[in-house]
Amino acid sequence: MAFSGALTLTDLNDFITPSQACIKPIETTNAPKYDPKAEAATQIHIDANGEYYEVEINNSAKTSTAQSKKLEKAEISLNDCLACSGCITSAESVLITMQSHVEVTNFLQSNPPPSSPEHKIPILSISPQALASLAATINVASTSTAPSTPPASIREILDRIRAFATVELGFSNVFDTTFARHIALQEHILEFEERVAAAKSGKEGSLPMLASACPGWVCYAEKAHAEMLPFISTTKSPQQVMGSLVKEWIGKKLGKSPEQMYHVTVMPCYDKKLEASRQDFYNEQYRTRDVDCVITTGELELLIKERGWDLTISRHPPPETQIKLPDLLIHSGSSSGGWLQSIIEHVQERERRSGRTSSVRTKTIRTADYEDVMVETITEDGRPEIVFKGSKCYGFRNLQNVVRKVAKESGLKGPGPIRATGGRTSGGAAAVLRARRIKKEQEAGSTPVLGEDRPYDYVEVMACPAGCVNGGGQARRPVSNKSSSAEEAINLVNGDTAGMGSRWGDREWVKTVDELYWSHSFDEGALFEANKLSGSIIEGLGKLEEDGRRRMLRTQYHTVISDVVGLNVKW
């Protein structure tokens, strides 16, 4: 099992030095009895330069021989670090082990028949990134056996998954999560406007608003950067919005209470298992989670193979069920959900209503994984003005740079604010840079852009390089024996920062998955139905209870204090 880099690391490089805090100490009470026969035939010696040598010894004389071997220095790669559970609590570890495709099949086999009052209705939700990944692997398999076979779209893959899950496994319904994402984007925009109003009134921690759809980023912030928590959006991720829909809205439609529904999601990364296990998404009244089990794309692929089901074969979709949701809804922006783009379009619409035209300018900071985006308008006196500044930040290295920048712009240092700034003060250094830039522009004869030094209003944060289509839980690219390691090394996304090996993070493969993500066409009718249905659901929540919408669509975050103290660890 491998989590994203952000889940378990507080510092990231290609390699990190061994740290005592990386190891979770375990007290041993039953020490083994001494056995002279079990003594090692070698010892580790350290010379004056700090080099390590393995030296053979004579057990009877307890003396070293002349033969020795120099040892390589220990290096902990990201893959090694991700395999360690020292940064994950024991409670989280137990919950994660309970979430696998084996757990799903065990439940389905033990689930009583529908006539039994103990029967739970099983529902499967799959993310569009997972569908795109499966489509990519299936298309490779199809073309290798029959080159003339046309590539399957994610619409066809969704139909085949529906057939497999309902016919072979016994799921009652299979949905994709795009409708839940549609609701989450609407709530996201509403929260952004709330934060803009709060920032104008001087409330701390309002802006910039940081995306919350990536649980690896959220987990990292809770454990390493508690000062960032007020900035993280409280809107639930599409997975958890879908969990609320299944357990509450769909459950009510079927006349069932939340604990009578069993909800499984298929996600592109392992971090989603941690997200589903959060106590915030546990219903104390009915003793059930919004998402009972999370499996990755790769685990679903494995389950399909274990059942001998061939997804390369076209199948008729199962008959429509009682509950139907709009599926495969298109959005604009990134293939990680389009969170930044939704805010940009909202800001542009707001400017249009004010009678001002706007344009979007993008500035690449490093790679396509780290870009700043500005919305510019023209003032009444003809001067350009930046009215919004956002950023797209993918990958852990970029993430840490953004965290430092947000902290600096917001007047934060360490675990909390160093002064009351309303979250929008960039400090004296920014003022000096601003003055220098204006002077340089005046000397060059150019018109300075108002708001050029504007701090971030919004940041779309994802822990994985290239975003969710490149998640660590995605189906692996079929490996060709002809490919050389040199060729693979060139094509790795951001140097394969997640340490998952050359089959994960291949640029061309990520591009293929990304293209399949966008392969289905825009359906205006489906979007109209989605807006109508989401409005009806949200309106109904407000009627049922005063805080129903917030309870179903918002969450909260908690500072996690590590119980591992490096100074107390004995080597």
3-state SS string for 342-394: HHHHHHHHHHHHCCCCEEEEEEECCCCCEEEEEEEEECCCCCEEEEEEEEEEE
Cross-strand bridge partners of residue 459? 210, 391
Residue 16 is inside which H or E element, if any? strand 15-16
Give me the residue label for tokens 């399957």: 152
Residue 244, Cβ density class (10 Å: 0-12 exposed, 13-18 middle, ≥19 buried): buried
Cβ-Cβ contacts under 8 Å for 70 (sequence gap 6 or more): 51, 52, 53
Q: Across 431-488, where does the E strand assignment appear?
A: 458-462
ω into 208 cis (within 30 of 0): yes
What is the rounded radius of gyration, in angstroms, for the C-alpha atoms of the chain? 27
What is the spatial distance between Cα 460 and Cα 470, in angstroms, rounded to a whole number?
16
Q: Rounded to an integer, what distance in angstroms lies between the CA atom of residue 147 and that of residue 138?
A: 13
Q: Per residue of the chain (571 residues), what is the pLDDT tens digit?
A: 455 544 444 433 333 334 444 444 444 455 566 666 656 567 777 776 667 778 877 655 555 555 777 877 655 544 444 444 445 555 555 556 678 899 999 999 999 999 999 999 999 999 999 999 999 999 998 877 777 778 889 999 999 999 999 999 999 999 999 999 999 999 999 999 999 999 999 998 899 999 999 999 998 899 889 999 999 999 999 999 999 999 999 999 999 999 999 999 999 998 899 899 999 999 999 999 999 999 999 999 999 999 999 988 887 777 778 889 999 999 999 999 999 999 999 999 999 999 999 999 999 998 889 999 999 999 888 889 999 999 999 998 888 889 999 999 888 765 443 333 344 444 455 555 556 655 665 565 566 678 888 999 999 999 999 999 999 899 988 765 444 444 444 444 544 333 344 444 578 999 999 999 999 888 888 899 999 999 999 888 766 666 778 889 999 999 987 655 554 444 4
* Structure tokens belonging to residue 45: 């010696």
- Residue 148 identity: S
State residue 318's pLDDT score. Answer: 77
Quick one: which H or E segment has residue 131? Answer: helix 128-145
Length of the chain (residues): 571
The set of residues, in sequence order, having a beta carbon less than 8 Å from that of 186 and lying 6+ positions away, is 534
Cα gap 123→245, rounded to integer Å: 11
Burial category of 340 from C-beta neighbours within 10 Å (exposed 0-12, middle 13-18, buried 19 and up): buried
Query: Phi/psi of residue 237, each to 5°?
Result: -75, 165
- Please state, in angstroms and as integers, the Cα–Cα distance from residue 326 to each residue in 106, 157, 174, following that order: 30, 16, 12
Which among 452, 472, 317, 478 has a CA at the least distance from the CA of 385? 452
Residue 549: closest CA among 559, 531, 536? 536
CA gap 255, 497 in Å, rounded: 47
What sign for the dihedral angle of Cα 256, 260, 265, 270?
Answer: positive
**pTM for this model (two decimals):** 0.79
Sign of CA dihedral 543, 338, 273, 23: negative
Place of tokens 């003339």: 148
pLDDT at 414: 55
Q: Which two tokens stand for residue 511?
A: 């591009």
